[in-house]
Amino acid sequence: MLPDLLRQMGFETAPPARHRPRLGVSACLLGHPVRYDGGHRHEPLLHRELGPLVRFVEVCPEVAIGLPVPRPPIQVVALGGEHRVRGVARPDDDYTEALSAQARHLDEPLDGFLFKARSPSCGWGTTPVHGPDGGVRGLGDGAFAATLAARFPALPLCNESDLQDPSFLTAFAVRLFCHHQWRHSPHPENALDTLRRRSEGLDEPLLSGTRRFIEHLAAPAR
């Protein structure tokens, strides 16, 4: 069980909500009807597995920039060596800067972010990237997700589709708690030593993955 494992690592798993790790979440995954088609993509696993452990910080970047619900669909297009987010029916409507600005100016402290896969705003490595002719050329990031990742290189990030794998879910939760401990410590180097000790009892491959994450946290702390 995930809470047992976190407790074995020395983390408190049932503090008041304000003291829990703060997980940014694409708002549609929490059941909010904010998608372009007026619907949501509620992911029950979020509330079931992570809800008792973390505090959700819901964000819908498309609604935050003033787009209505419902709204015409948008997509990522590769143009001139960069990715732009544009209207499907109205390609002159370009939302790239506005969506990126939402990530640049987000002032909520976070310990991770859970994105809606394949979204032109929120997708993380899963978003279809179209050519000017409309065909799909590959996969990339949504504009909000790309900017958030560049701004916070140590932040644990994933798509909701990743969490269907129980071992990934466990590894992601461990990273959230490690990031939270590190973010709140007045002495980040001491916190990293504590996290290294706490990870010693983990089994592989969780041990190696957690160690790599702790060293990733150490890089910006130097």
Tell me if residue 78 falls in helix, strand or coil. strand
Q: How far apart are CA 8 and CA 58, in angstroms?
A: 29
Q: How far apart are CA 155 and CA 172, in angstroms?
A: 11
The tokens for 119 are 């979204």
For the segment 32-61, give every residue that binds ligand SF4 (CB under 6 A): 34-35, 60-61
Tell me if residue 10 falls in helix, strand or coil. coil
Q: What secondary structure does DSSP assign to 96-139, as a single string?
A: HHHHHHHHHH--S--SEEEEPTT-TTT-SS-EEEE-TTS-EEEE
> Among 26-34, 44-52, 100-108, 174-182, which window interacts with ligand SF4 (CB under 6 A)?
26-34
In the complex with ligand SF4, which residue's Cβ is closer, 49 or 62? 62
Tell me how far, at minimum, the Cβ of 133 lies from ligand SF4, in Å: 24
Candidates 20, 116, 175, 179; binder of ligand SF4 (CB under 6 A) is 116
Place of tokens 């490690």: 178
CB-based contact 197:215 (threshold 8 Å)? no
Candidates 6, 27, 106, 158; binder of ligand SF4 (CB under 6 A) is 27
Identify the sign of the CA torsion 81, 158, 62, 149. Answer: negative
Check residue 110 for interaction with ligand SF4 (CB under 6 A): no
Amino acid at 192: L
**Binding string, 56-95, against ligand SF4, x = CB under 6 A?**
----xxx---------------------------------
In the complex with ligand SF4, which residue's Cβ is closer, 2 or 69? 69
Place of tokens 């970047």: 61
In the complex with ligand SF4, which residue's Cβ is closer, 34 or 202? 34
> Among 20-28, 74-82, 89-97, 200-208, which window interacts with ligand SF4 (CB under 6 A)?
20-28
Check residue 100 for interaction with ligand SF4 (CB under 6 A): no
Amino acid at 179: H
**CA nearest to 185, candidates 217, 138, 156:** 217
Tell me how far, at minimum, the Cβ of 36 lies from ligand SF4, in Å: 7
Check residue 199 for interaction with ligand SF4 (CB under 6 A): no
Check residue 114 for interaction with ligand SF4 (CB under 6 A): no
In the complex with ligand SF4, which residue's Cβ is closer, 28 or 191? 28
Catalog residues that contact ligand SF4 under the rule CB under 6 A: 26-28, 34-35, 60-62, 116, 119, 121-122
